[in-house]
Structure 1
């Protein structure tokens, strides 16, 4: 199958497929006599694996490690567990960061309850104060 067909089959755009080939996440396909790449079922499976890992926000370096583990199915999975444990820690840190961001935005939003002229907008005034280096509702000192 051609790269466009692989793209349709997996939902991964062609530039990303080429990038994954270049970085070694996806094995290089054979070439047809006309120079086109000829992808097979193993490419669909590999690319689907990478796509699923990326949907879990697993960094590409860790995806490469998981692919290496996948190529050695008789190996110990302890390192795989640690890799996923590390990903859980990263996700929890992001969740905490997003919750802090939500709190900051909620505080900022509370500065303007009713629509009125922009000059009297509490949100804009807070943002301007912050731009001047002063404490604001969302970033108190």
Structure 2
């Protein structure tokens, strides 16, 4: 299949496919007589793996490692477990940061009862000296 076909089959932009190739996440495809890239089922499977991994929030470096590990079916899955555990810890950290951010915004909104912009606690908090507000 040509790159447009692969893009449609996986819901991936052509530019993204080329980027993944340049990053070594996809093997270089063969080219036909007209010099078009020709993708095989292997490319579709690998790109689907990359897309699913990215949708789960894994970084490109993590995806690269997961692909390397997936290429050796006899290898221990301990490294996959470790990568996943680190990723979960990072998600937990981000969730804690988001909860704190939400709490701060909710407090600002709760105390924003001024009738005019001059009295707005939210805008005051966003101003350069808003840290003290």
What TM-score range do you get, normalising by the shorter chain? over 0.9
Is the aligned partner of 1:135 residue 2:129? no
Measured after TM superposition, the shift of residue 133 of structure 1 is 5.8
Q: Corresponding residue for 2:14?
A: 14
Q: Deviations over 1:81-124 (max 9, x none)?
A: 1111111111111111111111111112123247x332232322
Q: Corresponding residue for 2:44?
A: 44
Q: Deviations over 1:10-47 (max 9, x none)?
A: 01111111011001101110011111111111111000
* Counterpart Cα distance in 1 of 2:55 and 2:96: 20
* Counterpart Cα distance in 2 of 1:134 and 1:103: 15
Query: How many equivalent residue pairs?
Result: 133
Change (3 A) 1:126 1:23: closer
Give 5+ residue unaligned stretches, structure 2.
none
TM-score (norm: length of structure 1) = 0.87
- TM alignment of 1:101-140, pairs within 5 A: 101-113=101-113, 116-128=115-127, 131-132=128-129, 134-136=131-133
Cα root mean square deviation, aligned: 1.5
Change (3 A) 1:27 1:40: same
Give 5+ residue unaligned stretches, structure 1.
137-141
Secondary structure class of the residue paired with 1:27:
coil
